[in-house]
Amino acid sequence: MSDIEAVEFQCGNCGAVNHLPFAKILDLQESPSCGSCSTPLLRHLEQKYEHLDAKTYIHPLDDEAMAALKRIPGVTTMLRSLIRHSFELATRLHHQANFVRVGPKQLPDLWNSFVHAGECLGISLADLPELYVYQDPVPNAYTFGVENNFVALSTGCLNLLDEEEILFVLAHELGHVHADHVLYKSAARVFGSVASTVIQATMGLGSLVVYPIQIALLRWDRASELSCDRAALLVVKNPTVALRTLMKLSGGTEKLANELDIDAFIEQADQFGDMQDEGPLGRYLTVLQTLFRTHPYPIWRAKELLEWVGSGNFLEVLDGDYTKDNEGKVTCEACGSPIREDAIICPQCGASQPGSGADADGEGEDGGDPSDPIGKTLKDIQGWYKRNFTNDDPPS
C-alpha cells in the first residue's frame, strides 16, 4: 500500500478538517461524511462538472514543457500549413479505409462510453471526435488531427481491459481534446518527417536546430499524458480503476488478469518514486527515457496519479472546487470561437493568436512567403537558433 496514510480534507459545510484514510480514497465508491457535521464531503461527486477548465488538471510538467514549446518559432506555421493540408487528410483517409468507425449503430456500447466521457469533460456530442477501432494486439490508443480530430483504440485494449478501464482510456484521449493538446500532439507525431525535410534543405546543418525542437516537442508530448491521466480520473472518479488500467497496460494478460494485485502495484510505484529521488539525475532520466515512447512509463504515470490524489486536489474537484472554462477566456479573431487566453493557435480554425509570435496570415516581419510554409518555418527556426545558441548568424 502507498506510503500516504491519510489525506487532510476540509469540510465545505462546517470547515472541520477531516483525515481521510488513503485506502478508502483509492477505492472511492461514495462520498465520505464529515466527522463533525456528518454531511457528504464530496458534494459534487454525483454531479457533472460545469464548465470544467483544463487548468484544473494540467500537470506541472505539462505546463512547464508547453511554455518552452511556445517559445519556439515556426511551430505555428508548421502546424497550420503542413499538418492540416497534408498529414491530417492522409491519416483520416487511412483510418476511414482500414479501421472500424464507432457510432450509435457500430459498437454502440463503446460509443456510449465515449459519449459519456465527453459529457463529463464538457465536450458536446457535436464536438466529439470520430472514434475508430483498429486491429492490433498491442493495447494502445491515440488522438490526432487539426480541424477534424479523431481517436483510435486498438483491439488489444478492448480485449485486455474491462468496461471501467476502457472508459478511463477513452476519457484520457478526450482529455487531449478538452485541453487543446491535439494540434501539438499531431506535430509531435509528424515532426520527424518535417525534420528530415529541413535537414535536407540545409545540407545537414539544420540538424543543429531541428533536434532541440524535436526534443522539446517530445518532452511536452510525454508530459501531456500525465495531465490526461488526471482528466480521465475525473471521469471514472475512482483511483483504483485508473491504477488497475495502468497495471494491465504494464504487464497484464487476459489469462493472468485475476492474479494481478493492486496493492503490490502501488508499492512498486512508491519504490519507483524512491529510485527517482536517489540522485539529481533520477527525474531527468525518467523523462529522457520516455521521449521516444508513445506514452510515459505506466509505473511513472501511476506514481504521479497517486501523488495528485494524495495532495487532496482530486478530492477538491469532486467537491466542486475547480477552475471554470469561462474564466480567462478570449475570442479568436479569425473564427470567433472561445479560446484560452494563453493559446498561440485556435484549436477550432488553426489561426495564430495575437502575441503568439507568428502572424495569422503566415507572414512574419521578415515578409516570408505564406505559400512556402517550410521555408517560413526554416527562417523562423534560424532566427530562434541565432537568439538562443550563437552570437553570430545561424547556419544557412
**Is residue 173 flagged as an active site residue?**
yes
Whether 362 contacts 373, CB under 8 Å: yes
DSSP calls for 163-197: HHHHHHHHHHHHHHHHTT-HHHHHHHHHHHHHHHH
- SS3 track for 82-94: HHHHHHHHHHHHH
Give the pairing type, strands 338-340 and 150-154: unpaired
- SS3 track for 216-259: HHHHHHHHHHHHHHHHHHHHHCCHHHHHHHHHHHHHCCCCCHHH
Nearest-angstrom CA–CA distance, 116 and 198: 42
Nearest-angstrom CA–CA distance, 14 and 207: 60
Nearest-angstrom CA–CA distance, 210 and 366: 20
Query: Letter for the amino acid at 246?
Result: L
DSSP calls for 26-91: HT--SPPBPTTT--BS-TTTTS--SSB-GGGT--HHHHHHHHHHHTSTTHHHIIIIIIIIIIHHHH
Q: Where are the extended beta strands (E) located within 146-284?
A: 150-154
**Active-site residue, selected from the candidate residues 88, 165, 173, 225:** 173
Nearest-angstrom CA–CA distance, 72 and 381: 7
What the block records as the C-alpha cell of 248 is: 494491465
Closest among 271, 277, 268, 275 to 246, alpha carbons compared: 268
Active site residues: 173
